[in-house]
Amino acid sequence: MTIPFLTYTPSTQNQRVNGFEIAGDETPKIYTIHDLRNPSEMDMLIQAAYRQIYHEQQCLTYHRQIVLESQLKTFQITVRDFIRGLVLSDSFRRLNYEVNNNYRFVEMVVQRVLGRSVYNNRETLAWSIVLATKGLNGFIDTLMNTEEYLDQFGDYTVPYQRRRILPQRTQGELPFARMSRYGLDYRNQLPKPSVPTGLFDKSEQFEFKVFMDRADLSRAFAVLMIAVVLIVMLLLFSEANRIFFV
């Protein structure tokens, strides 16, 4: 017989209070497919999903899910399917599920998928029972099919920490991902846009070496050769006209 879901009472948290504050630098950026204007913004959405699920310290190129990224870019799956695939990936299982007990894992997943902390120990226990009885896949499916997830993020929005900053307070809720900043050698291992464009994001510092690595030099060389040929043809044509009229 299936164990019934243990009920729990929600406690007062920031995300349960209606907010009317003016957005500031600390307000989380919302990534949704409805706001995409060019392919580079899809790459930014994918990176935001990695940061939300893996957190920065686990966002290595080695853990990228190329097949899921390709399916999302061609709109074969939704953002919700992509988030589900990341949580159920082998990398996430090894880095988070296999090294924690059920209680700690439930707290981590609720933070990263629902964008809030667990309400109390009873909620932790309730989801731990689901994890123990239905397994990892059943737990993630149940969590992402909840009314809370569908109302807050739906099928096309990347989850984010909801209402971390409150007005008229010296300190709001701390980010879930708290860690020290690593050096350049670590940042070079972070996932980069799959298509090298030579362009930089607004928050990325320009570096000539990175620009050359991302630039499509073969295409640039072909364009340069075409320009040289056209210039030579124009010069020969003008010289021929000068001789003919003389």
Burial of 60 (0-12, 13-18, 19+ CB in 10 A): middle
On whether both 101 and 222 belong to a single domain, the answer is no
Residues 133 and 40 in one domain: yes
H helical segments located in 8-120 = 39-54, 66-73, 79-87, 90-92, 102-109
- The least confident of 38-47, 80-89, 213-222 is 213-222
In a domain, 91, yes or no: yes
Please state, rounded to an integer, the average pLDDT across all residues of the chain: 78
Residue 229 zone, left/alpha/beta (φ > 0; ψ -120 to 50; rest): alpha
Residue 132 lies in a domain: yes
- Provide the strand spans (E) within 84-187: none
Residues 110 and 184 in one domain: yes
The CATH number of whichever domain residue 111 belongs to comes to: 1.10.3130.20
149-186 per-position pLDDT tens digit = 999 999 999 998 887 665 555 555 666 665 555 556 65
Count: domains in the chain? 2
Range of the domain at 107: 14-198
Same domain assignment for residues 240 and 194: no
pLDDT at 222 over 90: no
Q: Is residue 234 located within the same domain as residue 158?
A: no
Dist CA 140 CA 80 (whole Å)? 11
**Do 103 and 225 have their domain in common?**
no
Q: Decide if pLDDT at 119 tops 80.
A: yes
At residue 32, φ and ψ (nearest 5 deg) are -140, 150
Domain co-membership, 128 together with 227 = no
Phi, psi of 157 (to 5 degrees): -120, 135
Q: Which of 22-31, 99-108, 125-134 has the lowest mean pLDDT?
A: 22-31
0.75 exceeded by pTM = no
